């Protein structure tokens, strides 16, 4: 039931954090956004008025036909009647303005004047404000999301349980389900296919971690396979209750939230953990994401098709091949090869669907990662036989009339490789995907890998976009990112930097002993 976000997978060489890139947005404080872009509004029921702020992307330089809407419920520190504290107390609402270039959305931030969000009166006012904003604006009603922290996390659970037909997804942070819902287990059944990602810290001193754990357990007992739960270990957030500071600095939840849609799940009748989404990268590259935002790349040109990694859709039960055939491929009947950056479960569990399609020709992996791959395929009774091919430094893989060059970057696994293709580099987790765990025991072995990788880049011309293995970030990864990782690793080797977790993004939390370690561009700072 519990999964801990700070849980690296240790193999030979380096421990790398396999999660989404931390978003490279510049501001680090809640007031970095000019809150005047949020218009004031209010709604009234009988003699009770609730004020709110609304960010309208169509009034701020964006020109889509419609936009998703994010409803943000603040915590206790923003209770009042100034119609401002809900924007300045933290980044729960204003972060969406920072992310607007990637995910433009309406942001509705009501302010609770007294008591808490869960009173019948306040819930009715929030719902009415939401209905009025929807009626008066170009809101995509298939993509209405809710997030909240602390008192607002509790309000998020309440709104989801009261109005399951309204929301496409929810993100409750360190909240609790009101007790009355546990007395009616059927209430949770309405959320069985609702994408929900919940967060809590194990040592939360205000709302016990068991509150979120119990809510997740109730959803799972009702039949949910898609609820996601991230529990930070004790001491990783200080103070433990303020876990939202870390959540707001992670790219994955926000990109994950924006993928969810009631149309996609047919009004939440389909299990979203079995579904995929896509984004076109170039004329020949399409990125496919599974529910966990593991990234699968499809390279298709006139002469052939090649897949890079497979994600772990539905723990191997989702039909990756059918999605790629129906939603991505121009040649629906094409055979294809598969190349793997490494052997970790979240990069290989799509193999059963690809293998059973009858269209899979060859599977390429470095021989040092063979045993890990066979461990997973054996669990699915799959015998790759002669289709399994081993690759190494200097090999060239052909797709149509184009090629991918293989470069070894061991560390994350013994056989981690990257692939150079035109102006792109597919890196899997060889250089991390935003957060990178650097351990002193292995970093001396990893540093030469990074130095070798950078030498290859320099020799080839230095003009590449990096396509990593997890989630999508606000700004593309370029070569500076690899240089920053080299600087972190070199600092650990020479003693100028401590062992720890290095995070791409100034202001993002990466707790290790004495403080937070982060890097952005060529700047590395230890707090």
Same domain, 328 and 463: yes
- The set of residues, in sequence order, having a beta carbon less than 8 Å from that of 112 and lying 6+ positions away, is 50, 73, 74, 78, 79, 122, 151, 155
The separation between the first and the last C-alpha atoms of the chain, rounded to the nearest angstrom, is 33
| Phi-psi sector, 316: left (phi>0), alpha (psi -120 to 50), beta | left
SS3 percent helix, strand, coil of the chain, rounded to 5, is: 30, 30, 40
Instruction: Please choose, from the candidates 49, 53, 33, the residue with its C-alpha nearest in 3D space to the C-alpha of residue 133.
Output: 53
Within-domain flag for 257: no
Query: For the domain that residue 520 is a member of, what is the CATH number?
Result: 3.60.15.10
Half-sphere exposure of 396 (CA within 13 A, CB side): 6
Same domain, 339 and 237: no
Rg of the chain over Cα atoms, rounded to whole angstroms, equals 23
pLDDT digits (tens, 9 = 90+) for 80-127: 999 999 999 999 999 999 889 888 999 999 999 988 999 999 999 999
Q: Are 417 and 366 in contact (CB under 8 A)?
A: yes
Within-domain flag for 14: no
Instruction: Please choose, from the candidates 21, 121, 82, the residue with its C-alpha nearest in 3D space to the C-alpha of residue 473.
Output: 21
Same domain, 293 and 203: no
pTM: 0.86
Same domain, 239 and 294: no
Within-domain flag for 254: no
Within-domain flag for 159: yes
| Long-range pairs of 180-189 with CB within 8 A, sequence gap ≥ 24 | 181/157, 181/218, 182/214, 182/218, 185/218, 185/221, 185/222, 187/161, 188/161, 188/218, 188/219, 188/221, 188/222, 188/224, 189/222, 189/223
pLDDT confidence tier of residue 500, bands split at 50, 70 and 90: low
Instruction: Provide the domain count of the chain.
Output: 2
**Which residues is 280 bridged to in the sheet?**
286
pLDDT digits (tens, 9 = 90+) for 142-161: 999 999 999 999 999 999 99
Within-domain flag for 447: yes
Q: How many residues are there in the chain?
A: 527
Same domain, 320 and 174: no
Indicate if the pLDDT at residue 14 is higher than 70: no
Same domain, 108 and 222: yes
pLDDT confidence tier of residue 462, bands split at 50, 70 and 90: confident
Indicate if the pLDDT at residue 12 is higher than 70: no
Phi, psi of 348 (to 5 degrees): -130, -10
Same domain, 149 and 290: no
**Mean pLDDT over all residues of the chain?**
86
Query: For the domain that residue 152 is a member of, what is the CATH number?
Result: 3.40.50.1820
Q: What is the mean pLDDT of residues 388-417?
A: 96
Within-domain flag for 141: yes
Same domain, 238 and 320: no
Q: How far is CA 47 from CA 42, 79, 90, 114, in A?
A: 13, 19, 30, 15
- DSSP label of 399: E
Within-domain flag for 1: no
Same domain, 322 and 243: no
Q: What is the pLDDT of residue 191?
A: 97
Residue 48: Cβ within 10 Å count: 13
**Which residues is 367 bridged to in the sheet?**
none
Same domain, 193 and 292: no
CA distance 12 to 319: 32
Q: What is the pLDDT of residue 22?
A: 27
pLDDT confidence tier of residue 437, bands split at 50, 70 and 90: low
Q: Are 6 and 459 in contact (CB under 8 A)?
A: no
- DSSP label of 4: B
- The set of residues, in sequence order, having a beta carbon less than 8 Å from that of 455 and lying 6+ positions away, is none
Within-domain flag for 2: no
Domain ranges, residue 325:
272-526
Residue 455: Cβ within 10 Å count: 11
Q: Are 490 and 440 in contact (CB under 8 A)?
A: no
pLDDT digits (tens, 9 = 90+) for 313-367: 999 999 999 999 999 999 999 999 999 999 999 999 999 999 999 999 999 999 9
Q: What is the pLDDT of residue 55?
A: 98
Same domain, 482 and 356: yes
Q: What is the mean pLDDT of residues 505-511?
A: 34
Q: What is the pLDDT of residue 255?
A: 85
Over 297-355, what HEC string results?
EEEEECCEEEEECCCCHHHHCCCHHHHHHHHCCCCCCCCEEEECCCCCHHHHCCHHHHH
Compute the C-alpha angle 90/94/99, nearest 5°. Answer: 130
DSSP secondary structure of 443-500: HHHHHHHHHHHHHHHHHHTS--EEEESBS--SS-B-HHHHHHHHHHHHHHHHTSS-SE
CA distance 486 to 99: 28
CA distance 41 to 52: 5
Q: What is the mean pLDDT of residues 209-220?
A: 97
Same domain, 109 and 192: yes
Indicate if the pLDDT at residue 385 is higher than 80: yes
């Amino acid at each position: 039931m519990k999964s801990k976000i700070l849980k690296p997978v240790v193999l030979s060489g380096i421990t790398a954090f396999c999660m989404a890139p931390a978003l490279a947005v510049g501001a680090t404080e809640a007031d970095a956004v000019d809150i005047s872009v949020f218009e004031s509004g209010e709604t009234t029921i009988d003699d009770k008025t609730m004020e709110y702020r609304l960010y309208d992307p169509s009034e701020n330089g964006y020109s889509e036909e419609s936009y998703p809407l994010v409803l943000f419920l603040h915590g206790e520190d923003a209770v009042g009647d100034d119609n401002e504290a809900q924007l300045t107390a933290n980044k729960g609402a204003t972060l969406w303005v920072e992310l607007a270039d990637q995910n433009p959305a309406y942001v509705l931030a009501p302010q609770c004047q007294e008591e808490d969000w869960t009173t019948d009166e306040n819930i009715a006012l929030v719902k009415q404000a939401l209905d009025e904003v929807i009626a008066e604006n170009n809101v995509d009603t298939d993509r209405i999301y809710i997030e909240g922290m602390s008192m607002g996390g509790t309000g998020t659970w309440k709104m989801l349980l009261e109005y399951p037909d309204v929301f496409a997804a929810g993100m409750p942070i360190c909240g609790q389900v009101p007790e009355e819902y546990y007395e009616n287990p059927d209430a949770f059944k309405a959320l069985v296919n609702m994408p929900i990602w919940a967060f809590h810290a194990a040592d939360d001193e205000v709302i016990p971690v068991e509150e979120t754990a119990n809510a997740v357990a109730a959803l799972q007992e009702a039949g949910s396979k898609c609820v996601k739960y991230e529990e930070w270990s004790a001491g990783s957030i200080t103070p433990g209750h303020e876990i939202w500071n870390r959540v707001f600095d992670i790219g994955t939840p926000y990109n994950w939230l924006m993928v969810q849609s009631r149309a996609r799940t047919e009004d939440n009748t389909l299990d979203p953990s079995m579904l995929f989404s896509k984004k076109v990268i170039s004329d020949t590259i399409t990125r496919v994401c599974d529910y966990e935002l593991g990234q699968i790349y499809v390279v298709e040109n006139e002469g052939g098709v090649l897949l890079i990694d497979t994600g772990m859709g539905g723990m191997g039960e989702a039909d990756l091949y059918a999605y790629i055939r129906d939603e991505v491929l121009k040649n629906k009947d094409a055979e294809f090869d598969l190349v793997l950056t490494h052997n970790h479960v979240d990069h290989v569990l799509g193999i059963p669907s690809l293998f059973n399609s009858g269209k899979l020709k060859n599977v390429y992996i470095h021989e040092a990662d063979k045993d890990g791959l066979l461990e997973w395929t054996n669990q699915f009774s799959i015998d790759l036989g002669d289709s399994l091919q081993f690759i190494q430094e200097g090999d060239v893989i052909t797709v149509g009339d184009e090629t991918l060059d293989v470069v070894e970057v061991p560390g994350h696994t013994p056989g981690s490789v990257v692939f150079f293709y035109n102006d792109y580099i597919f890196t899997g987790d060889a250089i991390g995907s935003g957060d990178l765990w650097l351990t002193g025991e292995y970093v001396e072995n990893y540093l030469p890998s990074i130095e070798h990788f950078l030498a290859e880049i320099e020799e080839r011309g230095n003009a590449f976009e990096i396509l990593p293995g997890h989630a999508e970030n606000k700004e593309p990864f370029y070569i500076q990112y690899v240089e920053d990782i080299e600087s972190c690793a070199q600092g650990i080797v020479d003693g100028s930097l401590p062992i720890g977790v290095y995070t791409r993004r100034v202001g993002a939390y990466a707790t290790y002993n004495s403080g937070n370690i982060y890097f952005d561009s060529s700047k590395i700072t230890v707090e």
